[in-house]
Amino acid sequence: MRVAMIGAGYVGLVSGTCFADFGHTVTCVDTDAAKIDNLRAGRLPIYEPGLDQLVAANMRQGRLDFTTDLAAAVADADAVFIAVGTPSRRGDGHADLTYVHQAAAQIATALTRYTVVVNKSTVPVGTGDQVERIIREANPAADFSVASNPEFLREGAAIEDFKRPDRIVIGAEDPRAQEVMRDLYRPLFLNQAPLVMTGRRTAELTKYAANAFLAMKVTFINEMADLCEQVGANVQEVARGIGLDKRIGAKFLHAGPGYGGSCFPKDTLALVKTAQDHGSPVRLVETTVAINDARKRAMAARIITACDGDVAGKRIAILGLTFKPNTDDMRDAPSIVIINELQAAGARIIAYDPEGVDQAKQVLRDIDYAADPYACADGADALVIVTEWDAFRALDLNELRKRLRHPALIDLRNIYPPEDVAEAGLRYWSVGRPSGAPAADDPAQ
Ligand code: UGA
């Protein structure tokens, strides 16, 4: 089948490349000519494990191409995917659909035969109806259907998620569209990936419901972590104890500094707004948003407490800036709020991140960057793990202690056993666990 993917951002690039890898012929379209030139030369705009090889292999085999010419890509496509950004609209949290609407208008005039226009961008309920209206008005003679096919890719594991999904959700009422979508995903059905074929509005809402539920799950365990600290319990064991119950499930129960990224913060807010607009508020999600916002600030306060209540003039070393490992994405990363708060309290920040520094430089100011974790710790008054990159999981703790000016390790991802840290002579604060090296001012005690 022939596929046009409008938007060569994260979702478009991963989805387009994986469809090509299934054997379809895919053209990714983007308005950014420099990005397209780079892609054609094998340079990717994002970091995603395995994606560069997959792009190169499929380009070599002639199944994947990149262009700025939307009309040419759409003209002979069986399916045109809209995978453009839907940022939060400034001020009110609603998803900004400008790019989706623009794409729909451009697709409209490029259609030459029956085509399924598929929304892959995360869009509020009813957006499929709008896309249909825009195309119909711009090109009344066009033969097309509009479907919704939300993505559930996690950054850092996107290829695996695309190729081995828990489920595929397709919202399409028209049987012709259902058939095209089935053909596109046929390689996955052979692996028995469940297909949820449903109405367009249901598919649109399913995406938001999934992200909101996961955000709520993370927030729940974060609140349990706070409670664990107060009652002397261990949140990792609580998570294991509840996660083994199949009705709850073990995933997304890692306590940490709060969720971030390009999806959960934006999608929870958009769902809250949609629900309010329809007079059916989702109060659990509203509360989740508020708790998560407060949590990032609370993490900064925790670091300040660990530094004897004052970070003015102190050098704080931060390991991990991206919102999670295996990505260079800094969007809504907890590190941003934490670092801003620490700087506001007078701290000097030195940071290390394996992939995120270029992006971090766009959003953070007045930071020194270290070449590796040990250089980061050099002469610092505290070392803080904000993102759990694998490279931070087996650091030489004795070496860190020697490098630090004050032997304080604040681990916001619980990646070290408290005993090991204590043994290395470091004072240790983690999240929702008893501290290995109790100190008078230890907030976990
Ligand atoms: C999320 C969803 O997991 C994907 O299914 C969805 O497709 C994607 O959003 C999207 O809408 O595009 P992603 O934002 O890449 O994926 O990241 P996650 O792995 O879900 O992590 C989100 C945040 O929650 C991160 O800040 C992470 O550190 C945090 N988190 C996650 C925790 O603090 N604890 C956990 O146990 C899990």
Is 292 close to ligand 1, i.e. is its CB under 6 Å away? Answer: no
Binding region for substrate: 152-155, 207, 252-256, 260, 324
Distance (Å) from CA 81 to ligand 1 centroid: 23
If you measure from the C-alpha of residue 154 to the centroid of ligand 1, how many angstroms do you get, rounded to a whole number?
A: 6
> What is the C-alpha to C-alpha distance for residues 31 and 169, in angstroms, rounded to an integer?
28
What is the arithmetic mean of pLDDT over 7-21? 96
Q: Is the pLDDT of residue 290 over 90?
A: yes
pLDDT at 297 over 90: yes
pLDDT at 323: 97
Mapped onto helix, strand or coil, the DSSP state of residue 265 is helix
Q: Flag whether pLDDT at 423 surpasses 60.
A: yes
Strand-pair partners of 169: 196
Mean pLDDT value across the chain: 94
pLDDT band at 373 (very low <50, low <70, confident <90, very high): very high
What residues does each domain of the chain span? 2-198, 199-445
pLDDT of residue 440 exceeding 70, the answer is no
| Lowest-pLDDT choice from 13-27, 66-80, 430-444 | 430-444
CA of 29 to the centre of ligand 1 (A): 26
> What does the pLDDT average to over 47-60?
95
CA distance 171 to 150: 9
* Residues 347 and 314 sit within 8 Å (Cβ to Cβ): yes
Q: What does the alpha-carbon distance between residue 120 and residue 102 come to, in Å, rounded to a whole number?
A: 15
Q: Ligand 1, from 205, 242, 264: best to mutate by most atoms within 8 Å of Cβ?
A: 264
Q: What is the dihedral of CA 411, 232, 421, 378, to 10 degrees?
A: 40
- Dmax over CA atoms of the chain, in Å, equals 75
Which one is predicted more confidently, 124 or 375? 375
The residue whose C-alpha atom lies closest to atom 1 belonging to ligand 1 is 154
Residue 299 has pLDDT above 50, yes or no: yes
2-198 shares its CATH topology with 199-445:
yes
CA of 380 to the centre of ligand 1 (A): 31
Give the residue from 106, 110, 105 showing the smallest Cα distance to 134. 105
pLDDT band at 192 (very low <50, low <70, confident <90, very high): confident
Return binding residues: 30, 35, 86, 122, 152-155, 207, 252-256, 260, 266, 324, 331
The answer to whether the CB of 92 falls within 8 A of the CB of 130 is no
Topology (CATH level 3) of domain 199-445: Rossmann fold (3.40.50)
Mind listing the pLDDT tens digit for each residue in 211-267? Answer: 999 999 999 999 999 999 999 999 999 999 999 999 999 999 999 999 999 899 999
The residue whose C-alpha atom lies closest to atom 6 belonging to ligand 1 is: 152
Q: Looking at residue 87, what is its pLDDT? A: 81
pLDDT in tens, 86-106: 887 766 777 799 999 999 999
CB distance 295 to ligand 1 below 6 Å: no
Determine the Cα–Cα distance for residues 371 and 353; give it in Å rounded to an integer.
9
Domain 2-198 bears CATH identifier 3.40.50.720: yes
Band the pLDDT of 438: cuts 50, 70, 90.
Answer: very low
pLDDT confidence of residue 91? 67
Mean pLDDT for the stretch of residues 383-399: 97
